Amino acid sequence: MNPSPEASASTGAWIQLFNGQDLSGWTPKIRGLAGGEDPFETFRVEDGLLVVSYEGYEAFDDRFGHLFYERPFRSYRLRVEYRFIGDQLVGGPEWAYRNSGVMFHSQGPATMGTDQDFPISLEAQFLGGNGRDPRPTANLCTPGTHVEMKGDLVTRHCVVAEGPTVHGDQWVTVEIEVHGDRLVRHIVNGTIVLEYGAPVVGGSEVSGFLPQAKRDGTPLGSGFLALQSESHPIQFRRVELLLLEGN
């Protein structure tokens, strides 16, 4: 889609959001539970990796989960290194096979309804291949939001990026470059695979939200970050962020 992006002016060094030892600074929010509760130990640290595990589950039962970082950001470059492992949990939706992602410009966990499935946010969707079919990673999904592409309002829920299909359990690095409500880029292996801007609150694809948290038409210029649990095990070995000018 585009060649390697030019470096944007930063305000310092990379911030390690995951310290490799514990979940300090992170808060889980799992559907059906209050923020901070994770009796299944869905999110844990094992051998220096941040792991999304379903060993404590008998079935998924639509318990979509998100692990939120403690503070919001506006303009930044986020780098996430992940890999899918193992088998999908029994009861997980078919579309959630090797499916996860990072939510950004998101509402915080304290503003979510107990039974809310996804935060109102933008999602950089991580997909793994099934060994046969094209299944690009670094797509855009929009729970309770819309964006603009080339001047047009995009209201469909997911937009497929021009990213690679990654089969197997190999590590993948995805970067998200965010400039407030002006410009967002999804980057895989140094190449821009998707670009859009002007995110706003709007549309559906989110349920269980508190009415006061969803004011359609509100610009999304900043927000929280959250890693997903959608029924397929995944590991993260790096989650880091570089603040950009305008943050």
Q: Is 134 exposed, middle or buried (0-12, 13-18, 19+ CB in 10 A)?
A: exposed
Task: Tell which phi-psi region holds residue 92, choosing left (phi > 0), alpha (psi between -120 and 50) or beta.
Answer: beta
Please give the Cα distance from 247 to 173 (Å, whole number).
23
Give tens-digit pLDDT for 25-44: 999 999 999 999 999 999 99
Annotated domain spans of the chain: 25-243
Instruction: Name the token pair of 149.
Output: 């592409």
Domain 25-243 has CATH 2.60.120.560: yes
Which pLDDT score is estimated for 177?
98
* Confidence (pTM): 0.95
Q: Output the tens digit of pLDDT for each of the chain's 247 residues.
A: 444 444 566 768 999 999 999 999 999 999 999 999 999 999 999 999 999 999 999 999 999 999 999 999 999 999 999 999 999 999 999 999 999 999 999 999 999 999 999 999 999 999 999 999 999 999 999 999 999 999 999 999 999 999 999 999 999 999 999 999 999 999 998 999 999 999 999 998 999 999 999 999 999 999 999 999 999 999 999 999 999 987 7
